[in-house]
Each structure stands twice: as structure tokens, then as C-alpha cells.
Amino acid sequence: MKFTEEHEWLREEDDVIVVGITEHAATQLGDLVFVELPSVGTEVVKDDEVVVIESVKAASDILAPIDGEIVEVNEALVENPGLVNEDAQGDAWFFKIKPSDPSQMDDMMDEAAYKKFVD
């Protein structure tokens, strides 16, 4: 698993990358009340706004951590945004992306580095 400074996690599954936000980010945001996901088939470039989330504290955007194509979204979050607060780094992933350049993940933090980053 890799981590970004924007508090996203990336997990490789076969030839796609699963993306979500970290438990730290979910805690900072508070209870999520709304999630707007991208359309499957959308081509994104690193740092494009991909997901809109709203919590009781704030609204924010989830940015694309890498270039690629959105190949699947987690519809369960639309019905139950609070799932992010319950299982941020498990069932509450936001989207799966087919990377156009997997080497973009090479410079991202591993779990130990991310823990240092948030402490």
C-alpha cells in the first residue's frame, strides 16, 4: 500500500489501483454525509478533482493520485457515505483506476513514512 501527502491510500489489485482516503483523513473530516463519485470511463490526470466529499465539518475534493482511467467506483458510498468513517482503509474505497504510468507511485510514501508524516 502507498500513501500520498493528500492522505490518500493506493493499493494494487491485478492491473488496477484501488484508491481511498486514510483513517487519519476520515477522522479529521468527521462524519461524511455526501459522496459524489466520478463516472466510469473518465480519463484523469494526476491532481484532477475526482471525488467530492462533504462531512459535517467541511466539503473537500479527492484528487487523482496518478494518471489513468476510472474503471470502477464504489456505489455503496453514495448510499452510505458514513462507511468511510467506519472502514476508511478497507471497504470504503472510492474508485479503481487503470494507471497509464504505474511508475508515478514509486515516489509515494509507504505506511511507515506516512505514519511519520501525520505524527
Mean pLDDT of the chain: 96
Question: Region 99-118: what's the mean pLDDT?
Answer: 96
14-28 pLDDT, tens per residue? 999 999 999 999 999
Grid cell locating 19: 484508491
pLDDT at 58: 87
The model's confidence at residue 49, banded by pLDDT at 50, 70 and 90, is: very high
Q: What is the pTM of this model?
A: 0.95
Q: Which domains does the chain have, with CATH numbers?
A: 2-100 (2.40.50.100)
Quickly count: other Cβ atoms within 10 Å of residue 60's Cβ.
17
Helices marked H in 1-119: 23-29, 76-79, 83-86, 111-118
52-83 pLDDT, tens per residue? 999 998 899 999 999 999 999 999 999 999 99
